[in-house]
Chains A and B, each alone.
Chain A
Amino acid sequence: MRALLTAAALVASASVAHADKLDDIIASGTLRCAVVLDFPPMGFRDENNNPQGFDVDYCNDLAAALGVQSEIVETPFPERIPALMSGRVDVGVASTSDTLERAKTVGFSIPYFAFEMAVTSNDSSGVTSFESMKGKTVGAVAGTYEAIALEEQVNAWGEGEFRPYQTQADVFLALSQGQLDATVSTSTVAQANVKSGNYPGITVVGKAPFDTDYVALFTNREEYGFINYLNLFVNQQIRTGRYEELYAKWVGGDVPSLTVPNAYR
Chain B
Amino acid sequence: MFSYTFQWKQAFARLPVMLEGAVVTIEIALLSMLIGIALAVLLTGFRLSGNRVLSGIAATWVEIARNTPALFQIYMAHFGLGSFGLHLSPYTSLLLGITFNNAGYLAENFRGALKAIPDTQTRAARSLGMTPVRAFGHVVLPQMLRIAFLPMTNQMVWAILMTSLGITVGMNTDLYGVTQDLNALTFRTFELFALAAVIFYLITKTVQIGARLVAARLFRY
- Asked whether any CB of chain A lies closer than 8 Å to the CB of B219, the reply is no
Which residues of the other chain, B, contact A78 by a CB distance below 8 angstroms?
A: 180, 183-184
- Asked whether any CB of chain A lies closer than 8 Å to the CB of B122, the reply is no
The chain B residue sitting closest to A140, CB to CB, is B170
Interface residues of B in 185-202 (CB under 8 A from A): 185-190
The chain B residue sitting closest to A105, CB to CB, is B187
Stretch of B76-84, B96-104, B146-154, B205-213 with 4 or more beta carbons under 8 angstroms from chain A:
B76-84
Q: Are A139 and B170 in contact (CB under 8 A)?
A: yes
Q: Are A179 and B82 in contact (CB under 8 A)?
A: yes
Which residues of the other chain, B, contact A220 by a CB distance below 8 angstroms?
A: 3
- Asked whether any CB of chain A lies closer than 8 Å to the CB of B85, the reply is yes
Label chain B's interface by main secondary structure: helix
The chain B residue sitting closest to A222, CB to CB, is B3
Query: Contacts A101-B185, A105-B186, A179-B87 known; A143 to B180 CB distance under 8 Å?
Result: yes
Query: Contacts A78-B180, A85-B2, A165-B170 known; A102 to B79 CB distance under 8 Å?
Result: no
- Asked whether any CB of chain A lies closer than 8 Å to the CB of B27, the reply is no
Q: How many A-B residue pairs have CB under 8 A?
A: 84
Q: Are A174 and B85 in contact (CB under 8 A)?
A: no
Chain B contact-residue range equals 20 to 34
A222-B4 Cα distance, complex, nearest whole Å: 10
Query: Contacts A87-B2, A142-B167, A164-B170 known; A179 to B184 CB distance under 8 Å?
Result: no
Q: Distance in Å from the Cβ of A119 to the closest Cβ of chain B?
A: 18
A16-B87 Cα distance, complex, nearest whole Å: 59
Interface residues of B in 150-180 (CB under 8 A from A): 167-170, 172, 177, 180
Query: Contacts A87-B2, A163-B170 known; A177 to B83 CB distance under 8 Å?
Result: yes
A162-B184 Cα distance, complex, nearest whole Å: 15
Interface residues of B in 55-79 (CB under 8 A from A): 78-79
Which residues of the other chain, A, contact B2 by a CB distance below 8 angstroms?
A: 85-87
Q: Are A179 and B78 in contact (CB under 8 A)?
A: yes
Q: Are A77 and B87 in contact (CB under 8 A)?
A: no
Pick from A86, A143, A147, A178: contact of B87, CB under 8 Å: A178
Which residues of the other chain, B, contact A142 by a CB distance below 8 angstroms?
A: 167, 172, 180-181, 184
The chain B residue sitting closest to A221, CB to CB, is B5
- Asked whether any CB of chain B lies closer than 8 Å to the CB of A205, the reply is no
Pick from B78, B85, B177, B188: contact of A178, CB under 8 Å: B85
Query: Contacts A165-B170, A166-B167 known; A105 to B188 CB distance under 8 Å?
Result: yes
- Asked whether any CB of chain A lies closer than 8 Å to the CB of B90, the reply is yes
- Asked whether any CB of chain B lies closer than 8 Å to the CB of A81, the reply is yes
Residue of B3, B7, B169, B170 contacting most chain A CB atoms (<10 Å): B170
The chain B residue sitting closest to A173, CB to CB, is B79
Contact indicator per residue, chain A 70-99, by CB within 8 Å of chain B (1) or not (0): 000000011011100111000000000000
- Asked whether any CB of chain A lies closer than 8 Å to the CB of B13, the reply is no
Q: Are A177 and B186 in contact (CB under 8 A)?
A: no
Residue of B4, B7, B188 contacting most chain A CB atoms (<10 Å): B4
Pick from A87, A147, A161, A222: contact of B184, CB under 8 Å: A147
Which residues of the other chain, A, contact B170 by a CB distance below 8 angstroms?
A: 139, 163-165, 170, 174
Q: Are B187 and A81 in contact (CB under 8 A)?
A: yes
The chain A residue sitting closest to B177, CB to CB, is A164
Which residues of the other chain, A, contact B216 by a CB distance below 8 angstroms?
A: none
Which residues of the other chain, B, contact A87 by a CB distance below 8 angstroms?
A: 1-2
Q: Are B3 and A85 in contact (CB under 8 A)?
A: yes
A179-B187 Cα distance, complex, nearest whole Å: 29
A173-B168 Cα distance, complex, nearest whole Å: 12
The chain A residue sitting closest to B189, CB to CB, is A81
A106-B189 Cα distance, complex, nearest whole Å: 11
The chain A residue sitting closest to B10, CB to CB, is A104
A177-B86 Cα distance, complex, nearest whole Å: 9
Q: Are A106 and B184 in contact (CB under 8 A)?
A: no
- Residue numbers of B with Cβ under 8 A of A are 1-4, 7, 10, 78-79, 82-83, 85, 87, 89-90, 167-170, 172, 177, 180-181, 183-190
Contact sample, A vs B, 16 pairs, CB 8 Å cutoff: A78-B180, A85-B2, A86-B1, A101-B186, A102-B187, A105-B7, A106-B187, A143-B183, A148-B184, A151-B181, A165-B170, A174-B79, A174-B170, A177-B79, A178-B87, A220-B3
12 more A-B residue pairs beyond the given contacts A78-B183, A80-B187, A142-B180, with a C-beta to C-beta distance below 8 A: A77-B184, A81-B183, A82-B189, A85-B2, A105-B7, A139-B170, A143-B183, A163-B172, A170-B79, A170-B168, A174-B82, A179-B87
